Amino acid sequence: MGRLWQTARDCMATKKPGDETIGGLPSFANAEDSFVGRSKVTTGPQKAVTAEAAPEVSQGAWRERVFTPRGVMSREEILQALETALQQALGSANHQRVAFEGVRTAWLPALRQALEQAGGDGIDAWLQGILKPPGRNAMDPLFNDITAAVARMRSARDLADLEEAGIKAIEAVRRVLHFDKPRKLSFKQMERELEGKLEVDELLLVRLSSDDELTRRLREIGSTMEQLRDQLKSRPGKQPDGMFANFVRLKAEVRVLDAELKRRAAQPPAP
């Protein structure tokens, strides 16, 4: 998990002119997400895909972090990327925990693509539930299906168990992607509650992380925010450049992390 969060202070490759906001996630191993009008998207060993800018990407007033539409992968390319990453992780690891970490890292770009194309109100319902409880149940299943499937993969007893859980996860994605008219992802709560400061893959990673991982991330952010606070205090009356934007973005992340941990703590223990 440290590998996923360790470059949280690096800026995203493509930013809004003048935006000095800290990027929340690293560039994933062997994966690129290209942010251009007509984009080349590569995921792991998959071929580059040139596609029109994704119409499902929000163009709302609050989308500070991703202001340029993303290119998209086709449904079959998403599924192929998931299947290939699962088999590569299983073939190169001798323990299920190592394989799980490899799969989760490699899957994140493809899962983001799937959510953007068929996530509907999944993230909206989750954010409402943790930030403005009690919230409501999602009408679209993909976000909850993905997080539940990855939780089963994390608890796998061995590599065979992990493979079985991974195949079921891919089938859950396939089932929703192949709906006649899957609903594209809503950014409503990301914009209303978080002002667009956190991205889809950052929020997905929160749900795919263990309690210990979220707690460690909170400690990391706390240290960074203290440093930024001290720097801001040392420059009274001066233009803070990107420091204040960085502080506000991290504050939004802390809000989500803390709320998700509280949601989990309030759940009854699994039988």
Cα dihedral: 72, 12, 57, 69 (round 10): -70
How would residue 36 be classed by pLDDT, with cut points 50, 70 and 90? very low
CA distance 264 to 211: 8
Here the tokens at position 9 are 């202070």
Here the tokens at position 24 are 């929340």
How would residue 239 be classed by pLDDT, with cut points 50, 70 and 90? low
The mean pLDDT of 133-145, rounded to a whole number, is: 94
User: Can you give the pLDDT at residue 67?
Assistant: 42
| pLDDT (tens digit per residue) in 189-211 | 999 999 889 989 999 999 999 99
The mean pLDDT of 216-229, rounded to a whole number, is: 89
User: Can you give the pLDDT at residue 70?
Assistant: 57
User: Can you give the pLDDT at residue 4?
Assistant: 56
User: Can you give the pLDDT at residue 238?
Assistant: 62
SS3 content of the chain, % helix, strand, coil (to 5): 55, 5, 40
Higher-pLDDT residue of 107, 39: 107
Q: State which of 3-17, 23-37, 123-137, 220-234 shows the largest mean pLDDT.
A: 123-137
Mapped onto helix, strand or coil, the DSSP state of residue 62 is coil
Percent of the chain with pLDDT over 90: 56
User: Can you give the pLDDT at residue 23?
Assistant: 44
Percent of the chain with pLDDT over 70: 70
Instruction: Count the alpha carbons within 13 Å of 265 in the hemisphere toward its beta carbon.
Output: 10
Higher-pLDDT residue of 48, 241: 241
Residue from 35, 111, 31 nearest 79 by CA: 111
Q: State which of 63-67, 132-136, 156-160 shows the largest mean pLDDT.
A: 156-160
User: Per-residue pLDDT for 45 more than 90?
Assistant: no
> β-strand 31-32 against 49-52: which pairing, if any?
unpaired
Among 32-36, 220-224, 237-241, where is mean pLDDT lowest? 32-36
| pLDDT (tens digit per residue) in 247-258 | 888 999 999 999
Here the tokens at position 246 are 């960085």
User: Per-residue pLDDT for 143 more than 80?
Assistant: yes
In Å, how far from its chain's centre is CA 15? Answer: 18
Cα angle for residues 133, 134, 136 (degrees, 5° grid): 115
**CB environment 64-94: b (16+ within 10 A), e (fewer):** bbbbbbbbbbebebbbbbbebbbebbbeebe
CA distance 84 to 30: 13
- Give residue limits of the domains in the chain: 2-266
Residue from 54, 196, 47, 188 nearest 113 by CA: 54
Sign of the dihedral through C-alpha 184, 103, 194, 231:
negative
User: Can you give the pLDDT at residue 175?
Assistant: 94
CA distance 270 to 152: 12
User: Per-residue pLDDT for 25 more than 90?
Assistant: no
Cα dihedral: 156, 202, 172, 46 (round 10): -90
